[in-house]
Amino acid sequence: MKFTKSDLIKLYTNLVRARAFDTLAKKMLTEGKFISFYHEGGWGDAAGVGSTTFLRKDDVLSPHHRAHGFPHLIGKGCDPKVYLAEHCGRSTGCCTGIGTIHAAFEDFGIYGQTGILGSQFSFSVGWGLAAKKNGKGQVVVIHFGDGTVNRGNWHEAANVATLWKLPIVYVCENNGIAQYVSIKNSYPLEDLANLASAYGMPSVVVDGQDIVAVAEAVGEAVTRARAGEGPTFVECKTIRISTHGYGSPDYCDGGLRNHNDVEELKKREPIALFEKKLLKQKVLTREDMDKIKKEAEAETKEADKFCMNSPFADDPSIFDQYLYAK
Amino acid sequence: MKEIQYNKAINEALMEEFARDEKVFLIGEGCQVSSVETTRGLVDKFGKERVIDTPIAEMAIVGGAIGAATMGYRPIADLMYSDFLYAAADEFLIKSAQWRFIHGGRQSLPIVFLAAMGGYRKLGPDHSHCPYSVVLHHPGLKVVVPSTPYDAKGLLKTSIRDNNPVCFFFHKALIGYKESIPEEEYTIPFGQAVVRREGTDVTVVAASYMNHLALAAAEKLKDQISVEVIDPRTLEPFDLDTVLKSVSKTGRVVIVDEDTKRCGFAAELMAQIMEHAFDDLNAPIKRVCAANYPIASGPLEKYVLPQPEQILSAIRETAGC
């Protein structure tokens, strides 16, 4: 798949914006502006941006919980500030402040988010069926980690999705650690992509820190799905340099994570890796990049301000109309 | 009028609603044939795209229904036995119930969970549950428990047209029950109980198959005690007014509930009657429920599930005779 110069700039811009929102989210949690919790991106954000930036607006997207899906929502074109406001329990939030960590942007094919990981596999069956029934070539892109794919609903969904040739791309963001358990203690093989082969679902393993590689692999899978050829499993080998939930100790396999291992991971920071390529290919200059970063920072400042100027959700009289539709 | 069997009434409602709205579809294991004939024949008329056979995969069935509902379809998830819903507890109880609420009322989830509930067939602890009290513990789900062919048809049509997730639990002991229903189309609104038998001494509230046991008990006692029998028909929404009106007349209540006694629907209804009509009561409310054991298989089932003689003695004791 060939990307134009403007495609690459779009990828870079979205990645920088995603990182800026991750940085802001951590700051706002520390400042007490977030109501519940935040699971930081830990530099695993290239997979989320790369897999979503070139989707159609009416494609269905289920974001990952890492970085709370900011990379995915930004890639899809949603306005991140209303999701940020949701985290702050403000009535301007995408769910009017009642969901806090739940994203919903139906106009962008995002029909909600789950806090019990794995439900997105079950939902993917219905989204895939609906997309197929609609007959407009919509594709469903589902994100999850190396931990979530151990749930049994992966099997149920993968089986029927392949059987029925549903237009789905399963994007696995494998950062090698699920909360406090490393992959070596949760899966016996090297590649999670093996999980797809049991159903005859095509799979591909890519460097999840290489945003272009992710965009290419997902792009090919999307093309297959749109053509009615069924689902694909894209495993993105990514990293998590942080702990699971911002503020908690960086546990791993019964103790603390080895500091040297984390330092080693930091060599794979995806923005720096992408910048090297963009400079070499003369797509962007250092000045261009600084400008994009400044704009992203300005956007986050505005978003912070938007949240703080919005009223808290504080009207329980809406509960009845939220509970049941008429 | 025409005579129709309980399971055929369900089938007729499905046929009519499938024809009425092309967004309606069915998904479930073996639903193209159906072991109890509720969904039989739909595939011949409406095709495999709308009557989807699945592998044994409750999470995919229930989650699939939710996903399709968020995108404007009106799925009916056929779970066969209501016990099987536990295999998709997250999707069913957490997701379908809360999805609209937690996303700020942005979406509606028009889903019907179609399943057979109840015992009295000696099928044991995996095929005899009445899981409605578990369901009712999760606000956002409606619960329909029809006791007659007329109600089964009219309430299922309403369930399919409702814009929320609805558990339609028909009772497997009622499958062969026949009655006459109108030829012309009808629907039945939710939240309207029916007084099946009028009486002045004791109010008995009993849903689904229990209503038939309650009516039989009332008939047996008719020379000594005048029993009023109420069929709630839907447990959420629940028609408390009809119950309270009856209590104000009789002052004595027996609740018959096939579900486990502990933390069951009977306990909830007792509490509600005491909250709203304590001064009307002339005796403590009695309840006849399944004993606090798993539902035993085979011949021992009768020691767990409510039995006719227990209902008779509960009514007698409440009436003080």
**Which ipTM score applies to this complex?**
0.96
DSSP category for residue B103: T
**B245 and B114 within one domain:** no
Residue the block writes with tokens 């930081």: A40
Using an 8 Å Cβ cutoff, are B120 and B85 in contact? Answer: no
Point out the residue among A95, A152, A157 whose CB comes nearest to the CB of B104: A95
Structure tokens that stand for B165 in this block: 């997730």
Point out the residue among B58, B66, B102 whose CB comes nearest to the CB of A126: B66
Residue of B nearest to A114 (CA): B95
pLDDT at A1 over 80: no
Chain A residues at the B interface, defined by Cβ less than 8 Å, are: 60, 93-99, 102, 104, 106, 111-112, 114, 116, 118-119, 121-131, 133-134, 152-153, 156-157, 159-160, 163, 318-319, 321-326
Using an 8 Å Cβ cutoff, are B38 and B14 in contact? Answer: yes
Q: What is the mean pLDDT of residues A80-91?
A: 98
The residue among A125, A127, A149, A319 with the most chain B CBs within 10 A of its CB, best to mutate, is A125
Residue B40, pLDDT score: 94
Write out pLDDT tens, residues B170-179. 999 999 999 9
* Backbone CA torsion sign across A198, A202, A207, A209: negative
Point out the residue among A112, A126, A163 whose CB comes nearest to the CB of B63: A126
**B123 and B9 within one domain:** yes
Residue B73, pLDDT score: 98
Q: Is there a catalytic annotation at residue B137?
A: no
Q: Note whether residue B200 is domain-resident.
A: yes
| Domain coverage including residue B145 | 2-181
Which residues 6+ apart lie within 8 Å of A219 measured at CB?
Answer: A1, A54
**B152 and B249 within one domain:** no
Residue of B nearest to A133 (CA): B49
Residue B245 CB-density burial (10 A; 0-12 exposed, 13-18 middle, 19+ buried)? middle
**B240 and B200 within one domain:** yes
Q: What is the mean pLDDT of residues A303-310?
A: 98
Euclidean distance between CA atoms B209 and B63, whole angstroms: 30
Point out the residue among A124, A134, A321 whose CB comes nearest to the CB of B67: A124
**B147 and B220 within one domain:** no
CATH number (domain holding residue B315):
3.40.50.920
Residue A117, pLDDT score: 94
**B66 and B11 within one domain:** yes
**B90 and B35 within one domain:** yes
CB contact under 8 A, A127 and B54: no
- Chain A residues near residue B58 by CB distance under 8 angstroms: 156
- Coil/strand/helix, residue B77: strand
CB contact under 8 A, B101 and A119: no
- Domain boundary residue, one of B119, B151, B181: B181
CB pairs under 8 A between A and B: 148
Using an 8 Å Cβ cutoff, are B16 and B154 in contact? Answer: no
Write out pLDDT tens, residues B29-88. 999 999 899 999 999 999 999 999 999 999 999 999 999 999 999 999 999 999 999 999
Point out the residue among A111, A157, A323 whose CB comes nearest to the CB of B71: A111
Q: For residue B321, what pLDDT band results from cuts at 50, 70 and 90?
A: confident
Tell me how close the Cα of B180 comes to any Cα of chain A, in angstroms.
32
CB contact under 8 A, A130 and B63: no
Residue of B nearest to A60 (CA): B71
**B168 and B260 within one domain:** no
Using an 8 Å Cβ cutoff, are B306 and B288 in contact? Answer: yes
Percent of chain A with pLDDT over 70: 100
Tell me how close the Cα of A91 comes to any Cα of chain B, in angstroms.
10
- Domain boundary residue, one of B181, B212, B229: B181
- Domain boundary residue, one of B157, B181, B205: B181
**B255 and B163 within one domain:** no
**B226 and B160 within one domain:** no
Point out the residue among A104, A130, A163 whose CB comes nearest to the CB of B106: A104
**B97 and B75 within one domain:** yes
pLDDT at A241 over 80: yes
Q: Which of B265, B295, B259 is nearest to B126 (CA)?
A: B295
Q: Which of A56, A50, A49, A89 is nearest to A73 (CA)?
A: A49
- Chain A residues near residue B72 by CB distance under 8 angstroms: 130
Tell me how close the Cα of B7 comes to any Cα of chain A, in angstroms.
27
Beta-strand pair B194-197/B227-231: antiparallel
CB contact under 8 A, A323 and B103: no
Percent of chain A with pLDDT over 90: 98
CB contact under 8 A, A325 and B140: no
CB contact under 8 A, A156 and B66: no
What integer best gives the mean pLDDT of chain B? 97
- Put simply, whether B100 touches A (Cβ < 8 Å) is yes
**B145 and B227 within one domain:** no
Q: For residue A2, what pLDDT band results from cuts at 50, 70 and 90?
A: confident
CB contact under 8 A, A102 and B59: no
Residue of A nearest to B89 (CA): A119
Write out pLDDT tens, residues A182-230. 999 999 999 999 999 999 999 999 999 999 999 999 999 999 999 999 9
Q: Note whether residue B186 is domain-resident.
A: no
Structural domains in chain B (count): 2
Q: For residue B158, what pLDDT band results from cuts at 50, 70 and 90?
A: very high
Dihedral angle computed from the Cα positions of residues A302, A308, A311 and A316, in that order, rounded to the nearest 10 degrees: 110
CATH number (domain holding residue B65):
3.40.50.970
- Coil/strand/helix, residue B98: helix
Euclidean distance between CA atoms B201 and B316, whole angstroms: 10
One-letter amino acid identity for B231? D
CATH of domain A5-323: 3.40.50.970
CB contact under 8 A, B104 and A111: no
Tell me how close the Cα of A32 comes to any Cα of chain B, in angstroms.
22
Q: For residue B19, how many other CB atoms are within 10 A of its CB?
A: 11
Tell me how close the Cα of A129 comes to any Cα of chain B, in angstroms.
7
